[in-house]
Chains A and B, each alone.
Chain A
Amino acid sequence: QVQLQQSGPGLVRPSQTISLTCAISGDSVSSNSVGWNWIRQSPSRGLEWLGRTFYMLSKWNYGYGLSVEGRITINADTSKNQFSLQLHSVTPEDTAIYYCARWKHEEKYFDYWGQGTQVTVSS
């Protein structure tokens, strides 16, 4: 059974960086058949896909949503079997519940989700 356990601060100051981690059990972050994603949810934006990383053809690959491209970094840590989100230069508009989720490449769906982390951007 795959489990995704999120961790990270719930309060971030404007202009600072949101840093969240998603620890994986029951699968490997470097598995070839899946991707590791960050998705957020807010009343104003609804559910918004932020980006993913995946290991394929012997290298790490990345894809990011246009709304956060340039401010977002997703990294995998194979030694800890986890992946992370960094969202830089945040504003109150980045206040949301952040989820990590596993993506199945062939079947094309998100099958496992983290528990969600409420992140508030406020001074």
Chain B
Amino acid sequence: DVVMTQSPLSLPVTPGEPASISCRSSRSLLDSNGYNYLDWYLQKPGQSPQLLIHLGSNRASGVPDRFSGSGSGTDFTLKINRVEAEDVGIYYCMQTLQTPHTFGGGTKVEI
């Protein structure tokens, strides 16, 4: 299985300030077609996870443009340009290159 490792485990943030989460995979997620098979999800308190970013850097429909994904191969980053109070929750990366799909351990973002 592909092992996904996130850091930090916990991220205190200040509204209006930027935030960044790192995700590393145990094997390259870059396919021969040029796509990186990496998603980002946010799980708000008491809710199911929701899709933020797919294929490494594509924002899902309805996701604010303050969220951006970058990286390639084994190292990826999720950035929040200016954190808002509604962004609190646990952020997960997930590899979609192969099954079983595997998730990172999560990064808890709190104000």
Contact = CB atoms under 8 A, between A and B. Distances in A.
A and B assemble together: yes
A47 B1 contact: no
Contact of B54 (A67, A107, A115): A107
B71 interface: no
A83 interface: no
Contacts of A107: 54-55
A66 B1 contact: yes
A110 B49 contact: yes
A67 B102 CA distance: 12
Contact of B105 (A46, A49, A66, A99): A46
A108 B48 contact: no
Interface residues of B, number: 21
Contact of B99 (A49, A67, A109, A110): A49
A49 B102 contact: yes
B89 interface: no
Interface of A: 46-49, 52, 63, 65-67, 99, 107-111, 113-116
Given A47-B103, A66-B1, A108-B37, 17 more contacts: A46-B103, A46-B105, A49-B99, A49-B103, A52-B99, A63-B99, A65-B100, A66-B100, A67-B100, A108-B54, A108-B96, A109-B51, A111-B51, A113-B48, A113-B50, A114-B48, A116-B48
